[in-house]
A and B are shown apart, each in its own frame.
Chain A
Amino acid sequence: MYPFTYHRPTSVVDAVKMFGASDDAAFLSGGHTLLPTLKARLAAPSDVIDLTALPELKGIEETKSGLLIRGGTVHADVAASPLVRRNIPVLAGLAGSIGDRHVRHRGTIGGSVANNDPAADYPSAVLALNATVITDRRRIAAGEYFTGLYETCREPGEIVIGVEFPVPLSAGYAKFRNLASRYALAAAFVARTSAGVRVAVTGAYNTGVTRPAHFEKALDADFSAEALDALDVDPKDMLSDAAATAAYRANLTKVLARRAVAHQGEVLIYK
């Protein structure tokens, strides 16, 4: 790791101020993306601002429109939360499928959503459930929030305070894991919401988390796995790497979307 200056703010306001006063700061949430990135010398921030101890970023609560999960809440706590398990069980299951046990003890929803890794799990749930990302300065609809690979519409120094999830009529998540990295090689989150069916795919698209509009249209007309039979995903839109070609991911995307439709209420993890 390149040297940096470590800071431990006592409030979100304090953290934002520290960011503004630094040359090139990075926020540290669970650290399970940032620290490996720093160790690989892929980033060299001048300052690291540790958000892990901020009480404002901890906890899960019911709101008028659903569930608010604060940004510093670790995956293990979302997976075990009676509130999440009762209201959006598939979201609890998704959280419980991230990384491994020790990673889930550290990794946070805020970190995942802020980083927007194209193979991360949470962005698919945030987008499919039409959640709202709440930052220290505004509320952002999921559709506007994610803007590309590792890109969001956050401004420099903008902190994800939490994510507010509306409760869907039903939801399902199907993931095929990369055996080495444990990230999604492809995963589909399919939700039936009051505003229609929403499908969000992670791990596969070269645009990051993406909604296949033709899938949603077909499922709005006929919510069945068979409704997707005649549809295809264009390999030109897919990521391609040593683990899976674009054509393979295109096929996998359709297979996983079909299964998430057929198994609403379930989390299916293939590895």
Chain B
Amino acid sequence: MITVSLTVNGKAVSHEVADETLLVEYLREALGLTGTHVGCDTSQCGCCTIHLDGISVKSCTVLAAQAEGREVTTIEGLAKDGSLHPMQEAFRECHGLQCGFCTPGQIMAGVELIRTWEGPLDEHQVREEMEGNLCRCTGYHNIVKAILKVHKETRGSADA
């Protein structure tokens, strides 16, 4: 067993876990944050995408122990004071989800993409950058639309 201490959605947490515990298992099972989904468990689908120190990672392919001392943000940490995050709002408005299973990962990936992207962003680039997030409903069109909407609103980008 190993003790892990980290910050999740702004709150300090610490637990004793088995050494081989995956970060996604820790989030879901020890912390009850079940918004982070496990789709494939083979690093392909992106349903488990979270932010580790602000960078998007697949939490099924990171050990909980590797998050020691780091800051984790999950889908539960996006909404503030009862208001949806602009990306969540854009997914709602653009109908960027069908069954909803991949949605937390899509939103976390979209938020990180917009936060770190420099310069203009077009539809093709969004599709390339979002390649690690699969939607088995194939609802990609409106996911891309939602992300471009947020980009346009936050960066005032005319090309979006």
Q: Check if B19 sits within 8 Å of A106, measured CB to CB.
A: no
A64 beta carbon closer than 8 Å to chain B: no
Q: Check if A35 sits within 8 Å of B65, measured CB to CB.
A: no
A31 beta carbon closer than 8 Å to chain B: yes
B137 beta carbon closer than 8 Å to chain A: no
A36 beta carbon closer than 8 Å to chain B: yes
Q: Which of A6, A35, A39, A103 contacts B19 (CB 8 A)?
A: A6
For B131, what are the chain A residues with a Cβ–Cβ distance below 8 Å? 100-101, 182
Chain B min CB distance to A119 (Å)? 15
B33 beta carbon closer than 8 Å to chain A: no
Q: With A and B bound together, what is the CA distance between A36 and B48 in angstroms? A: 14
For A28, what are the chain B residues with a Cβ–Cβ distance below 8 Å? 63, 66
Question: Which chain B residues numbered 11 to 55 have a C-beta less than 8 Å away from chain A?
Answer: 18-20, 22, 41-44, 46, 49, 55
Against B, the Cβ 8 Å flags (1 = close, 0 = not) of A91-125 are: 00000000111110110000000000000000000
For B62, what are the chain A residues with a Cβ–Cβ distance below 8 Å? 31, 35, 106
A141 beta carbon closer than 8 Å to chain B: no
For A3, what are the chain B residues with a Cβ–Cβ distance below 8 Å? 18-20
Q: Check if B61 sits within 8 Å of A6, measured CB to CB.
A: no
Question: Which chain A residues numbered 71 to 107 have a C-beta less than 8 Å away from chain B?
Answer: 99-103, 105-106
What is the predominant secondary structure among interface residues of chain A facing chain B? loop
Q: Which of A5, A38, A103 contacts B58 (CB 8 A)?
A: A103
Q: Check if A6 sits within 8 Å of B56, measured CB to CB.
A: no
For A190, what are the chain B residues with a Cβ–Cβ distance below 8 Å? none
Q: Which of B19, B41, B49 contacts A102 (CB 8 A)?
A: B49
For B68, what are the chain A residues with a Cβ–Cβ distance below 8 Å? 8
B132 beta carbon closer than 8 Å to chain A: yes
For A5, what are the chain B residues with a Cβ–Cβ distance below 8 Å? 19
Q: With A and B bound together, what is the CA distance between A38 and B65 in angstroms? A: 15
Q: Check if B56 sits within 8 Å of A101, measured CB to CB.
A: yes
Against B, the Cβ 8 Å flags (1 = close, 0 = not) of A43-76 are: 0000010101000000000000000000000000
Would A100 and B46 be within 8 Å (CB), given that A2-B20, A6-B19 are in contact? yes
B114 beta carbon closer than 8 Å to chain A: no
B79 beta carbon closer than 8 Å to chain A: no
Q: With A and B bound together, what is the CA distance between A100 and B56 in angstroms? A: 11
Against B, the Cβ 8 Å flags (1 = close, 0 = not) of A13-36 are: 000000000000000100110011
Q: With A and B bound together, what is the CA distance between A265 and B132 in angstroms? A: 26
B135 beta carbon closer than 8 Å to chain A: no
Interface set of B (CB-CB < 8 Å, partner A) = 2, 18-20, 22, 41-44, 46, 49, 55-58, 60-63, 65-66, 68, 109, 113, 129-132
Interface set of A (CB-CB < 8 Å, partner B) = 1-6, 8, 28, 31-32, 35-36, 38-40, 48, 50, 52, 99-103, 105-106, 180, 182
Beyond A50-B65, A103-B43, 15 additional contacts (C-beta under 8 Å) are: A6-B20, A28-B63, A35-B63, A36-B43, A36-B61, A40-B42, A50-B66, A99-B132, A100-B46, A101-B129, A102-B46, A103-B132, A105-B57, A106-B62, A182-B131
Interchain Cβ contacts under 8 Å between A and B, 5 examples? A6-B2, A39-B42, A101-B113, A103-B43, A105-B55
Closest 7 A/B residue pairs (Cβ): A100-B132, A6-B19, A1-B20, A100-B131, A102-B132, A6-B65, A35-B61
